[in-house]
Amino acid sequence: MRARTDLACWQGSQGRREEFAVRVVLLGAPGCGKGTHSEWMKEDLGVPQISTGDILRDAVKAGTELGKRAKAYMNNGELVPDEVILGMMRERLAQPDAAAGFILDGFPRTIPQAEGLDGILGEQAVQLDRVIKIDVASDELVRRLTSRRVCPNCKAVYNIGFRPPKKEGICDHCGEPIIQRDDDTEETARSRLTVYESQTAPLIDYYKANGLLAVINGNRGFAGAQAETREILDL
């Protein structure tokens, strides 16, 4: 992996930018900390965080066609169909900011999505640099999901147990009231974890086979996971 010091070099021409782009996938069960770690990684790497969950929630809120198609799946804790997600991501990855690299949070989530991503990147003549899987014990995941709160405006992630905002109920970054996601109830959280095991966990072997996978321990709290990630990315 290229270090942040190298990234400073690419701010000049578009060609250099492309040369030093960093493309990372964050993998792991719902509640493992993908969103939380994306927050500092996007700053350090200078690349956008692309969260399919955030894009879909915004679409549901705006009442777009995509949102209407996705809503029932999301409320039931099921996956939105692969062709919908791949169409959405093909568009998102073609945006100019993604040429500088990206952190993918919550995508891919199935083998067909991973194959689709390989195809999209292949068309752009680029490839992934790293897939970082965050390991967290399953009983801890339910606890984290049900006590999670998010900012609907800037998407910052909090936890009322161990990562609360400075002022109760208010986002530290933008001052909006934070909320509990509709799908962070215990029942839906448990369904999402079952869906993860059956449909997303096979990606671990997929990315192990092509040598991209690195696994970090997310059970030891934020700082431990951050330090391991920094080491993997040479940050």
Residues forming the active site = 34, 109, 148, 181, 192
Decide if residue 226 touches ligand AMP (CB under 6 A). no
- Integer Cα distance of 181 and 210 in angstroms: 35
Q: Which tokens hold the place of 135?
A: 């390991």
Residues ≥6 apart with Cβ < 8 Å to 76:
188, 191
Structure tokens at 145: 């999901």
Binding residue for ligand AMP, selected from 56, 117, 156, 203, defined by CB under 6 A:
56
85 binding ligand AMP? (CB under 6 A): yes
For residues 104 and 98, what is the distance between their CA atoms, to the nearest angstrom?
Answer: 10
Considering beta carbons, is residue 38 or 229 the nearer one to ligand AMP?
38
Choices 17-25, 59-67, 74-82, 215-223; region in contact with ligand AMP by CB under 6 A: 74-82
Span from 49-57, 60-68, 91-99, 219-227 in contact with ligand AMP (CB under 6 A): 49-57
* Maximum CA extent, the chain: 50
Phi, psi of 46 (to 5 degrees): 70, 35
Site residues for ligand AMP, 133-172, by CB under 6 A, read none
Overall size of the chain counted in residues: 235
Q: How far is the CB of 11 from ligand AMP (least distance, A)?
A: 31
- Interface with ligand AMP, residue 10, by CB under 6 A: no
- Please identify which residue in 28, 33, 53, 218 interacts with ligand AMP, judged by CB under 6 A: 53
Nearest-CB residue for ligand AMP: 53
CB-based contacts of 41, cutoff 8 Å, min separation 6: 24, 49, 103, 229, 233
Near ligand AMP in 185-204, by CB under 6 A? 192
- Taking CB under 6 A as the rule, does residue 104 contact ligand AMP? no
> Using CA of residue 156, residue 57, residue 142, residue 187, what is the dihedral sign?
positive
Residue pair 179/152 in contact by the 8 Å Cβ criterion: yes
What is the nearest approach in angstroms of ligand AMP to the Cβ of residue 54?
Answer: 7
Q: Give residues in contact with ligand AMP (CB under 6 A).
A: 30, 52-53, 56, 73-74, 77-80, 85, 106-107, 109, 113, 183, 192
